Amino acid sequence: MLHARIDGWATATIAHPSLKGQKIVFCTPVDENGKDAGMPIAAVDPIGAGRHAKVFITTDGSWTQNTVHDETSPIRNQVIGILDES
C-alpha cells in the first residue's frame, strides 16, 4: 500500500488490452507528514480521484488482474481509496 497524491493524468491509445477504458493517473508518493517521498508512478484509477487528492494505491498486481478481469494483465498499481482531509 502506498500513500500518494494525484498530480496528473495520461492517455494511451496503444497499450496492453487490460488498460483499455481505464483512467490513468500520475501519483506522487507522500510520507506521513504529506511531504513528497519518491518518484512519480502511474496507476489505474477506477474510482475517479480528483486533482491533488490524497489516495491509497495498491501495488498488488493480482488484485488488479481481478478488477480488470484479465489474468494476463501486467498492471500493478491501482487507486483503491481516497483519504478524507485531516
Partner 1 sequence: MKPGRVIGTVTLSQGAPQFRGARWLLVSPMGKDELSGKNAGLSQASTPVVYDKIGAGVGDEILYVEGAEATQPFPEPIPLDAINVAILDHYAYAPPASS
The reply on whether position 19 binds partner 1 by CB under 8 A is yes
CB of 73 to partner 1, least distance (A): 6
Show Cβ contacts of residue 77 under 8 Å, excluding neighbours closer than 6 positions: 2, 27, 41, 42, 43, 44, 57, 58, 59, 64
Among 2, 3, 23, 26, binds partner 1 (CB under 8 A): 26
CB of 80 to partner 1, least distance (A): 15
Q: Which residue from 54, 48, 52 is spatially nearest to 33, judged by alpha carbons? A: 54
Q: Which residue from 73, 78, 12 is spatially nearest to 43, judged by alpha carbons? A: 78
Among 2, 3, 28, 56, binds partner 1 (CB under 8 A): 28
Q: Is 67 helix (H, G, I), strand (E, B) or coil?
A: helix
Subset of 45-84 contacting partner 1 (CB under 8 A): 52, 61, 65, 71-77
Positions that interact with partner 1 (CB under 8 A): 5, 7-16, 19, 24, 26, 28, 35-36, 39-43, 52, 61, 65, 71-77
